[in-house]
């Protein structure tokens, strides 16, 4: 029971329990982290634990005679644990290879003298009796060398302890060296100093070292967490900066696009104004001169039939002049009093029927409801239908040689269709794919419409289908010729 043990018996037992727990913890930690530092210290812990178990079972009391073989094994394990700790210190210091000193290299290669050191520590087993004293002396020098190496490594820890992990290892190393000094001295004082055996001193060295190394590991984990959060914060800041730069660049691009669109719009307006002025000044002036010429011819007409024909030509020139003037005003941005009627489909068809009848070109038959046309066709749609009718009638005059043209506008619940049908000779593929009809397709596409042309020697059918869209009277303000 507990009262049968003294302090020298209890110290190794408590140390064994503590080292076992810490060794298991560091083994698991190394399995997940794969850190060489943790791996080196874990090897040291298991070797130290093995030594304490062997040494404790050999020394149940101060009067127990130690078996020679078991004592040799325990001492060998202890020496290996010191070598493992020495290697651990080398890992902690981590001097770059190009800056290694000769003593540091000797420390890394201390394991090479293990057989010699082991034999010198047990001269009665390995040397004749006449060489035992000499072996003890050499062994004492080897102890001095070993403590010198440890002292050098501890000094390196001291001068490089810029991190707390090295501070903790430095303190733990000082304590373990101190307790091992007592252990070495106990070999020369019949195994005891201050009433404690060398096993107790070694156990105290192990126990004190694991306390400070555990503090070092805790500090390292805390610093790793801080570093991870610091790195995450830096990444977040960089991502935020990148997003800010992207937004800034996007805003600049949008501003540049907006500025470019404004410049394009201004250029188009200026170009339209220039075209409008040219129409008004050149074509309008020529039409006025032509009217004066026709009026002069009217005064000199020699027959009633000639007078009638010249009068119709004069009226046609007046109509062309009026359209040219209104067109030039629209291009120049000048609104006319009857601008909203410029694309009046009903008025246009009635005018064309009258003109073509007067000139005996061909007869035009129209089928549509005037009220539906005015109710459902917005200015934008009326504009494209106007161009469709004008281009189709122009093609009949140029290519078809027809005598009859039928124009129908039929409204359905969700769409309406416009059909221009003639009884002419038809159109060639080149004529069907001409620039005028291509422009019609483009214009109808703006109002989501579709154009279909069927032509054969018996005539041509031009059919446009356009969906009905809500009509806002404010659209009148946006109507303009393109």
Q: What pLDDT does 190 receive? A: 63
Looking only at the bridges linking them, the beta strands covering 459-467 and 450-456 are antiparallel
Q: Which of 182-191, 194-203, 418-427 has the lowest mean pLDDT?
A: 182-191
Q: What pLDDT does 54 receive? A: 79
By C-alpha distance, which of 458, 389, 452 is closest to 424? Answer: 458
Is it the case that residue 44 has pLDDT exceeding 70? yes
Euclidean distance between CA atoms 384 and 381, whole angstroms: 5
Is it the case that residue 478 has pLDDT exceeding 70? no
Structure token pair of residue 85: 């700790």
Quick one: angle between helices 132-159 and 164-186, nearest 10?
Answer: 160
Q: What pLDDT does 68 receive? A: 61
Give 63 or 475, the one with higher predicted confidence.
475
pLDDT tens-digit series, residues 66-118: 446 766 777 777 777 777 777 777 777 766 666 667 766 776 677 677 777 77
Structure token pair of residue 164: 């707390």
Q: What pLDDT does 186 receive? A: 64
Is it the case that residue 369 has pLDDT exceeding 80? yes
By C-alpha distance, which of 119, 114, 146 is closest to 132? Answer: 119
Instruction: Give every CB contact of residue 272 below 8 A, 6+ residues apart in sequence.
Output: 331, 332, 333
Is it the case that residue 399 has pLDDT exceeding 60? yes
What DSSP line would sit under 160-212, residue for residue?
A: T--SHHHHHHHHHHHHHHHHHHHHHHHTTTTTEETTEEHHHHHHHHHHHHHHH
Contact 93, 103 (CB under 8 A): no
Return the percentage of the chain with pLDDT > 70, whole number. Answer: 70
Contact 90, 153 (CB under 8 A): yes
Q: What pLDDT does 224 receive? A: 67
Q: Order of strands, edge to edge, in the sheet holding 459-467?
A: 363-367, 404-411, 415-422, 459-467, 450-456
CA Rg value for the chain: 55
Question: Residue 133 — very low, low, confident or very high, per pLDDT cuts 50/70/90?
Answer: confident
What DSSP line would sit under 47-105, residue for residue?
A: HHHHHHHHHHHH-SSTTPPPPHHHHHHHHHHHHHHHHHHHHHHHHHH---GGG--HHHH
Q: What pLDDT does 475 receive? A: 46
Is it the case that residue 401 has pLDDT exceeding 60? yes
User: What are the Cα distances from residue 324, in Å, to 221, 278, 334, 364?
Assistant: 87, 11, 13, 24
pLDDT tens-digit series, residues 409-439: 999 999 999 999 999 888 888 888 877 788 8
Neighbour-count burial of 418, counting CB atoms closer than 10 A to its CB (0-12 exposed, 13-18 middle, 19+ buried): buried
How crowded is the C-beta side of 259, counted as CA atoms within 13 Å?
A: 6
Start-end of H helices in 362-470? 370-376, 379-395, 429-432, 435-446
Is it the case that residue 130 has pLDDT exceeding 50? yes
pLDDT tens-digit series, residues 139-167: 778 777 777 777 777 777 777 655 555 66
What DSSP line would sit under 5-31, residue for residue?
A: --HHHHHHHHHHHHHHHHHHHHHHHHH
Looking only at the bridges linking them, the beta strands covering 404-411 and 415-422 are antiparallel
Q: Which of 60-69, 253-262, 292-301 has the highest mean pLDDT?
A: 292-301
Beta bridge partners of 280: none
Beta bridge partners of 410: 417
Return the percentage of the chain with pLDDT > 90, whole number. Answer: 9
Residue ranges of domains in the chain, CATH in brackets: 2-238 (1.20.1070), 346-482 (3.30.565.10)
Give 67 or 401, the one with higher predicted confidence.
401
Q: What pLDDT does 338 receive? A: 47
The CA angle 188-85-62, to the nearest 5 degrees, is 35
Beta bridge partners of 460: 422, 455
Q: What pLDDT does 38 receive? A: 75
Q: What pLDDT does 64 receive? A: 39
Q: What pLDDT does 60 receive? A: 44
Q: What pLDDT does 411 receive? A: 93
Q: Per the confidence metrics, is the pTM higher than 0.85?
A: no
Quote the mean pLDDT of the chain.
75
Beta bridge partners of 421: 406, 461
Q: What is the mean pLDDT of residues 396-419?
A: 90
Structure token pair of residue 275: 């075209």
């Amino acid at each position: 029971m507990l009262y049968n043990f003294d302090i020298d018996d209890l110290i190794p037992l408590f140390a064994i329990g503590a080292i076992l727990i810490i060794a298991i913890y560091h083994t698991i930690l190394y399995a997940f982290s794969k850190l060489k530092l943790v791996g080196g210290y874990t090897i040291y812990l298991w070797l130290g634990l093995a030594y304490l178990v062997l040494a404790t079972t050999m020394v149940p009391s101060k009067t127990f005679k130690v078996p020679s073989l078991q004592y040799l094994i325990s001492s060998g394990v202890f020496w290996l644990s010191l070598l493992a700790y020495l290697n651990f210190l080398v890992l902690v210091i981590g001097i770059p290879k190009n800056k290694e000193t000769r003593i540091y290299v000797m420390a890394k290669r201390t394991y090479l003298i293990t057989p010699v050191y082991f034999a010198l520590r047990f001269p009665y087993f390995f040397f004749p009796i006449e060489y035992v004293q000499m072996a003890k002396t050499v062994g004492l020098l080897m102890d001095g060398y070993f403590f010198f190496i440890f002292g050098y490594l501890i000094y390196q820890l001291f001068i490089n302890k810029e991190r707390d992990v090295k501070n903790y290892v430095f303190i733990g190393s000082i304590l373990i060296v101190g307790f091992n000094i007592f252990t070495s001295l106990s070999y020369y004082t019949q195994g005891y100093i201050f009433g404690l055996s060398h096993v107790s001193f070694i156990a105290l060295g192990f126990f004190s070292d694991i306390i400070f190394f555990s503090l070092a590991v805790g500090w390292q984990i805390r610093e790793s967490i801080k570093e991870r959060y610091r790195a995450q914060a830096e990444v977040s800041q960089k991502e935020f900066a990148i997003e800010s730069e992207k937004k800034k660049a996007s805003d600049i691009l949008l501003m540049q696009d907006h500025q470019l669109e404004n410049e394009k719009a201004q250029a188009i307006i200026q170009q339209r104004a220039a075209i409008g002025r040219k129409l008004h000044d050149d074509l309008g002036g020529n039409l006025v001169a032509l009217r004066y010429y026709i009026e002069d011819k009217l005064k000199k007409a020699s027959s009633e039939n000639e007078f009638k024909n010249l009068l119709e030509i004069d009226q046609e020139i007046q109509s062309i002049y009026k359209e040219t003037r209104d067109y030039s005003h629209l291009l120049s941005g000048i609104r006319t009093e009857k601008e909203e009627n410029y694309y009046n489909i009903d008025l246009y068809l009635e005018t064309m029927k009258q003109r073509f009848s007067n000139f005996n070109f061909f007869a035009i038959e129209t089928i549509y409801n005037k009220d539906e046309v005015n109710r459902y066709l917005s200015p934008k749609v009326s504009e494209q239908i106007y161009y469709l009718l004008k281009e189709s009638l122009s093609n009949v005059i140029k290519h078809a040689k027809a005598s009859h043209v039928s124009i129908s506008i039929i409204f359905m619940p969700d769409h309406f269709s416009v059909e221009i049908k003639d009884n002419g000779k038809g159109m060639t593929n080149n004529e069907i794919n001409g620039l005028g009809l291509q422009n019609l397709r483009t214009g109808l596409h703006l109002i989501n419409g579709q154009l279909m042309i069927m032509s054969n020697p018996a005539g041509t059918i031009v059919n446009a289908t356009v969906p009905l869209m809500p009509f806002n009277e404010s659209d009148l303000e946006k109507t303009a010729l393109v």
